[in-house]
Amino acid sequence: MKQLRRAATPAVEEEEEDVVWNSRPFESFPPTPSSCGALIARVRNGGRLSAEFVSRILKSATREFRNAPRVDEVRAERAAVVGDLHGSFGDFCAALEACGHPTDRQVLVFNGDYVDRGASSVEVLTAVLCLKLAFPGRVFVNRGNHEDVELSRVYDFERELERKYGCDRARSLLARASACFAAMPLGLVLDAAARRFLVVHGLVPRTLPPLSALRDAPRAASVVGAAESDILAVQDVLWSDPDEHAAGAHFNARRGAGAAVGDLELGRWLQSQRLDAIVRSHEVIRDGAERVRLTDATERWTVFSCSKYPNGEGLNKAAVLLIDENAACEVRRWDSAPGNFAVRRDREIGRRVKALLLRHRHSLLGRLGAASEACAAVIGSDPESWDRLLLPAAFEDPPSSLDELEAHLAREPKLKVASAATTAARDASTISDRSSARAIFDALDADGDGRVSFHEFLQAANTLDDVAAADPKSAWLLLDADDSGFLDPQELDNAFSRQ
């Protein structure tokens, strides 16, 4: 393992290309802004990339990364940060649309995890590297924890290479990818207006060393099972998570790698390094992005750019973070990227049931004696499982048995989502067209922030006597299709269209 981690340059990397290059417009080399556009359009329309082109891009990007600092610093008028993409080309395209393309005024930062747990890891990785080569001073690429040859073998990337290019070519491409992963920078310092942002995939090393120590970090092909202190520091940058309740930093038992770093210590460290904020990825965020204030002068952002992770089966939104010329931060979100695999309605309901059962597993396991029976019913093909099992149990005081659950539901009338939402939002002074989902949404959105919280929904429901019988909590679960804790206009409109 030590030799593997130290081997940043596999032997195949030094071999010369032994293929006859057949140039195509979307595979022109070196990549240009126009050829990047052609490549993205090609893949979006279902086209494949040749193994020769992928290999050449990996090799060229590796050279570029080896000449770059481990943690670079750039002054930018504007910046956009893209989080985990995990082989989702639809989310890659959605992120570019949300960010805008790199320009002389705006830099674009990709913050790791391009591969695994998605069907298009090869295409996402190649497209990101092409943009880096076409815009060398405006596009920056950080390494993620999945940019690791050992994880590529455990998860999906190696199998995807074999499926698309055959075993022999897959072996060569994985070696080139491993060299590229090892060479990727660990982070970037964005100097925007009067603020400085550190962008890394995971977090900072548990020893909280000076930022200069990261600039000297080694290039390791794999950090899995790292023991040496310098490699362990790299693992921490790629694998660590924040822990708002922790004091200091400790081993990250949840992931089995990296560290869990307390927010107070993280804020103090940022101040000591003259940094105002840290922007990280690595964690699925239900709403795509979140901001946490660390101290009066520092904050951390988490940005995740793969919707419905993993493999289009999850419930989360995706987002990118934009930093403008005044160093103000704006989040742009989307629910599901165009072109992603469309989940059948019955499977979608099953996934939502399972996800919510998981979210409430502690209270359910304490009171449901037949937890395995409940899970079996949810996983099965019963189309009524949502109504029978989840709605009364997802909130407080779940029944103590499945029989009690069924008896409870037998006493409750089934809900009509649209009518419940309309009743909850009914206000003659603000809604002239009660069939309009948008008008109802605007009435529910009390603070006008473009999304409806559960608190806002309950406030509207509690003002009307006849909503209590309609069970607004159950209506909320049906409306909040991605389980993000917020409603957006699309979710409300989708609920109406199903009636």
Contact 249, 259 (CB under 8 A): yes
Question: What is the C-alpha to C-alpha distance for residues 144 and 113, in angstroms, rounded to an integer?
Answer: 5
Sole residue written with tokens 């009914």? 426
Question: What is the C-alpha to C-alpha distance for residues 62 and 73, in angstroms, rounded to an integer?
Answer: 19
Specify whether 186 is located in the same domain as 45: yes
Question: What is the C-alpha to C-alpha distance for residues 142 and 255, in angstroms, rounded to an integer?
Answer: 20
Specify whether 352 is located in the same domain as 489: no
| The domain boundary residue, chosen from 369, 393, 412 | 412
Mean pLDDT confidence for 347-365: 49
pTM (predicted TM-score): 0.68
Specify whether 162 is located in the same domain as 263: yes
Specify whether 428 is located in the same domain as 473: yes
Provide the CATH number for the domain around residue 101: 3.60.21.10
Examine the pLDDT at 293 and tell me if it is beyond 60: yes
Question: What is the C-alpha to C-alpha distance for residues 30 and 339, in angstroms, rounded to an integer?
Answer: 28
Q: Does a structural domain hold residue 339?
A: no
Strands 289-293 and 318-323: unpaired
Any bridge partners for residue 323, and if so which? 79, 329
Examine the pLDDT at 492 and tell me if it is beyond 90: no
Specify whether 323 is located in the same domain as 392: no
Q: Which residue has the higher pLDDT, 153 or 461?
A: 153
Examine the pLDDT at 349 and tell me if it is beyond 80: no
Bond from prior residue into 399 cis (ω within 30 degrees of 0): no
The whole-number pLDDT of residue 7 equals 39
Specify whether 205 is located in the same domain as 121: yes
| Least trusted range by pLDDT, from 221-235, 337-351, 404-418, 435-449 | 404-418
Can you give the length of the chain in residues? Answer: 499
72-93 pLDDT per residue, tens: 999 999 999 999 999 999 999 9
3-state class (DSSP) for residue 297:
coil
Question: What is the C-alpha to C-alpha distance for residues 180 and 270, in angstroms, rounded to an integer?
Answer: 29
Q: Does a structural domain hold residue 198?
A: yes
Q: What percent of the chain stands above pLDDT 70?
A: 68
Question: What is the C-alpha to C-alpha distance for residues 27 and 30, in angstroms, rounded to an integer?
Answer: 9
Instruction: For residue 386, give the amino acid letter.
Output: W
Contact 243, 262 (CB under 8 A): yes
Q: Does a structural domain hold residue 100?
A: yes
Q: Does a structural domain hold residue 327?
A: yes
109-120 pLDDT per residue, tens: 999 999 998 899
pLDDT bucket at 148, cuts 50 / 70 / 90:
very high
The whole-number pLDDT of residue 226 equals 76
Specify whether 367 is located in the same domain as 487: no
The whole-number pLDDT of residue 436 equals 57
Specify whether 474 is located in the same domain as 363: no
Residue 304 per-residue DSSP state? B
pLDDT bucket at 448, cuts 50 / 70 / 90:
confident
For the chain, give the longest Cα–Cα distance.
Answer: 77
Question: What is the C-alpha to C-alpha distance for residues 258 and 261, in angstroms, rounded to an integer?
Answer: 10
Residue in 143, 141, 138 with CA at minimum distance from that of residue 78: 138
| The domain boundary residue, chosen from 311, 334, 357 | 334
Mean pLDDT confidence for 457-469: 58
Cα pseudo-dihedral 488, 494, 496, 499, rounded to 10: -150
CA 198 from centroid of its chain's CA atoms: 18
Examine the pLDDT at 318 and tell me if it is beyond 90: yes
Contact 487, 449 (CB under 8 A): no
499: exposed, middle or buried (C-beta count within 10 Å: 0-12, 13-18, 19+)? Answer: exposed
Specify whether 307 is located in the same domain as 160: yes
Angle between helical axes of 345-359 and 371-379 (0-180°, round to 10)? 160
Specify whether 230 is located in the same domain as 283: yes
51-80 pLDDT per residue, tens: 999 999 999 999 999 999 999 999 999 999
Contact 26, 35 (CB under 8 A): yes
229: exposed, middle or buried (C-beta count within 10 Å: 0-12, 13-18, 19+)? Answer: exposed
195-218 pLDDT per residue, tens: 999 999 999 999 999 999 999 899
Question: What is the C-alpha to C-alpha distance for residues 296 and 290, in angstroms, rounded to an integer?
Answer: 17
Sole residue written with tokens 């529910």? 444
| The domain boundary residue, chosen from 296, 311, 334 | 334
> How would you classify residue 448: left for phi > 0, otherwise alpha for psi between -120 and 50, otherwise beta?
left
Q: Does a structural domain hold residue 358?
A: yes
CA distances (Å), origin 253, targets 105, 230, 232, 269, 448: 42, 20, 15, 22, 40
Specify whether 402 is located in the same domain as 438: no
The whole-number pLDDT of residue 336 equals 78
Contact 475, 413 (CB under 8 A): no
Strand ranges, E, within 24-159: 71-75, 78-82, 106-110, 139-141
Contact 289, 300 (CB under 8 A): no
Instruction: For residue 381, give the amino acid letter.
Output: S
The boundaries of the domain holding residue 433 are: 414-499
Query: Which of 38-42, 358-362, 369-373 holds the top average pLDDT?
Result: 38-42
- What values do phi and psi take at 191, rounded to 5? -100, 100
3-state class (DSSP) for residue 84:
strand
Token pair of 268, please? 């103090």
Question: What is the C-alpha to C-alpha distance for residues 52 and 46, in angstroms, rounded to an integer?
Answer: 18
Specify whether 196 is located in the same domain as 210: yes
- What values do phi and psi take at 491, rounded to 5? -65, -40
Contact 179, 62 (CB under 8 A): yes
The whole-number pLDDT of residue 405 equals 45
Token pair of 375, please? 């899970």
Sole residue written with tokens 């992963």? 181
The whole-number pLDDT of residue 459 equals 77
Q: Structural domain tally of the chain?
A: 3
The whole-number pLDDT of residue 483 equals 55
The whole-number pLDDT of residue 482 equals 57
Question: What is the C-alpha to C-alpha distance for residues 129 and 185, in angstroms, rounded to an integer?
Answer: 13
Question: What is the C-alpha to C-alpha distance for residues 313 and 417, in angstroms, rounded to an integer?
Answer: 23
Q: Does a structural domain hold residue 8?
A: yes
The whole-number pLDDT of residue 416 equals 35
Provide the CATH number for the domain around residue 432: 1.10.238.10
Question: What is the C-alpha to C-alpha distance for residues 89 and 11, in angstroms, rounded to an integer?
Answer: 31
Contact 420, 468 (CB under 8 A): no
